[in-house]
Copies of this chain bind each other. A is one copy, B any other.
């Protein structure tokens, strides 16, 4: 299945130059996943025509306001829009009491339940799984417990050559054996090799979201070879000295991680409020990892 990403906000903590703070939606063919939810996310969702009817699992990287202050508004608005299906907010357990207090006062008559699924952001573990994909945490290095998220499609079934199955009149039991790798033997005793019937499954898609974090190579084994890596790039080289104090990354550091992990494509974002233009960030990243894209609010990217 294809992954289809909509990036709703590319700014960092303080909105500037028309950039909202962190929020993204990853669509697969049957579900949508909200990743972080800054103030104003409900507005961005509507502005960019994001379908929210199957957006039931939400993942919050950490509890800084620019990654979660929009939750109550999105929930409240979905309530007014008669959203169906419960919502599962996957976040650090500290979110529960604060958001619950808001829900109790402001959202008394929601047409759905809001469930809190707490996890430890500092442990690399699977926190969500359905029949087609899994989501696991990517422990990051920031000023509070923070993680990224790895969305990984499950290995699909091998493709079967339907015409050949018909030609040899292969039965259900034999099809099962073919899928397991066996050859097929006709009634006349002729052995037809497995490879004539079966071609490997489409490689599973993957997406790694890493924000906010200082440069850390510890994430490399977790995100190795992903199709698309979003890595925060708050600063350019001229402000590299700020990364130690703020525990953020430069565009060049993001690109270094992309290169070390041999990902297929890098998207940078979470830009400091000081940058009116961003070309230098792209150039600095591309000098290390050429296949880098500069994200912008409303960007849609499919793979």
Contacts and interface: CB of A to CB of B under 8 A. Distances in A.
A63 B101 CA distance: 14
Contacts of A15: 42-43, 46, 77
A120 interface: no
A105 interface: yes
Interface in A67-117: 69-70, 72-73, 76-77, 80-81, 94, 97-98, 101-102, 105-106
B98 A65 contact: no
Interface string A1-43: 0000000000001111010100000000000000000011011
A131 interface: no
A16 B81 CA distance: 12
Given A39-B42, A102-B98, A14 B65 contact: no
A47 interface: yes
Given A39-B40, A43-B40, A69-B72, A63 B106 contact: yes
A80 to B, nearest CB: 6
A256 B94 CA distance: 50
Contacts of A65: 72-73, 76, 106
Contacts of A98: 101-102, 105-106
Contacts of A63: 105-106
A207 B102 CA distance: 32
A84 to B, nearest CB: 17
Nearest to A70: B39
A288 to B, nearest CB: 30
A162 B15 CA distance: 49
11 contacts: A13-B77, A14-B77, A15-B42, A15-B43, A15-B46, A39-B43, A69-B106, A94-B105, A97-B101, A98-B101, A102-B102
- What are the nearest 5 A-B pairs in CB distance? A39-B73, A40-B40, A65-B76, A15-B43, A69-B73
